[in-house]
Amino acid sequence: MKISDSFFRLLLALFILFAGKVPSEVESFTGTYGINYGRIANNIPSPDEVVKLLRSVKIKNVRIYDADHSVLKAFSKTGLEIVVGLPNGNLKDMNSNPDHALTWVKDNVLAFLPDTHIRGIAIGNEVLGGADQSLWEVLLGAAKNIHNATKTLKIDDVIQITTAHSMLVFNNSYPPSSCTFNDNIIQYMKPLLEFFSNNGAPFCLNAYPFLAYMDNPNDIDINYALFQTTDGIYDEKSKLHYDNMLDAITDAAYTALENAEFRKMEVIVTETGWASHGDQNEAAANGTNAKIYNYNLRKRLAKRKGTPLRPKKMLKVYVFALFNENLKDGPTSERNFGLFKADGNISYDIGFSGLKSSSSLSTNFRWMVYCSVLISILLLIL
């Protein structure tokens, strides 16, 4: 049947219309639940085994703190979506030398696309408010040069540029409606927010009710920090009620952004978790509390809802962390945030299975299939 010219022109117009629909901004996080894959350890599973583990627990969104090639190769053709990190130690070089930024993106991002689904680059981690103030001055320049490199290489439509902040950037986060950015960092924060806002990037926050509770156990109800049944808090100014601390911290960040005139920027929690073991002065760091926090966090995120201040903006969280990391500095708690132990087995049960459990289940399933086939053959013979 011959297609009329008018009908053909209509089809062509529709094709052009929809083919031209390009997303206005890149999203590096498409779900609600992601995980941080830290590797400051000498006893954790190989990247190939990590891929098996992540697939078995159905976690798709992953953050790493560098761009290790063994990890990026292992993630190739897996469907897992990864955000790589530009370490703090590289910031000064990336700020001062755009050519080095271009080379870094070529070698650590472009070289692995499209088979490895790299979705973002995190420029440093917890720089503003950190001890090294010389990095505060170069963070924005490094972010711009890395972003310009993605544009030059024509991958800016698939790679989102972000940076993660600690709670140290805030002057006061309680109650949430009172939150502002610290006076000593606002001169660095505002131009950074302007840059990220122009590129559709979110405000990334490492938010730890665990640390907040540890700092002030006398005034904070641990049940409030653990998503347990509690009276919570009522914010008199906003007239909003909070039944858990993570929502309150997230809304504190939204308030600080409002006060800085960036009301439309989304907040993503890029780290949160609870330590399962600690020193003698870290009584709250234990397996029971870690299990309660992470189990309730999964339940909270499964509801796919927003916070009291942003009820329509679904909360997105990267849990810290995939494994306990035995080579990390600091108190014992720093080495015990993992949902999984070094051997790939669960640290505590929140509904996940470890590597050995998954392997055992897989083996049992294969034996069931073999037995079924054998029985079928025997029945046919008889």
Taking a C-beta distance cutoff of 8 angstroms, is the pair 167, 215 a contact? no
Active-site entry in 81, 266, 271, 325: 271
Q: Name beta bridge partners: 63.
A: 36, 83
Tokens 């990391």 locate to 325
Closest CA to 159 of 271, 73, 67, 82: 82
Active-site entry in 25, 27, 49, 126: 126
Taking a C-beta distance cutoff of 8 angstroms, is the pair 56, 44 a contact? no
Closest CA to 270 of 88, 91, 64: 64
Handedness of CA 44, 328, 75, 202 (dihedral sign): positive
Spatial neighbors of 324 by CB under 8 A, at least 6 apart, are 41, 276, 335, 336, 337, 338, 340, 341, 342, 347
Structure tokens at 100: 């080095």
How much helix, strand and coil, in percent to the nearest 5, is found in the chain? 45, 15, 45
Alpha carbons within 13 angstroms on the beta-carbon side of residue 193 total 25
In what helix (H) or strand (E) does residue 160 lie, and over which residues does it extend?
Answer: strand 160-165
Q: Name beta bridge partners: 206.
A: 271
Q: What are the φ and ψ backbone dihedral angles of 248, each rounded to 5 degrees? A: -65, -40
25 a catalytic residue: no
Taking a C-beta distance cutoff of 8 angstroms, is the pair 173, 249 a contact? yes
Kindly list the distances between the CA atom of residue 126 and the CA atoms of 4, 77, 112, 239, 314, in Å, as whole numbers in the listed order: 62, 31, 26, 31, 23
Structure tokens at 44: 């954790």
Kindly list the distances between the CA atom of residue 330 and the CA atoms of 178, 336, 339, in Å, as whole numbers in the listed order: 31, 11, 19
Q: Count CB neighbours of 93 within 10 A.
A: 15
126 a catalytic residue: yes
Amino acid at 300: R
Q: Would you name the residues annotated as active-site residues?
A: 126, 271
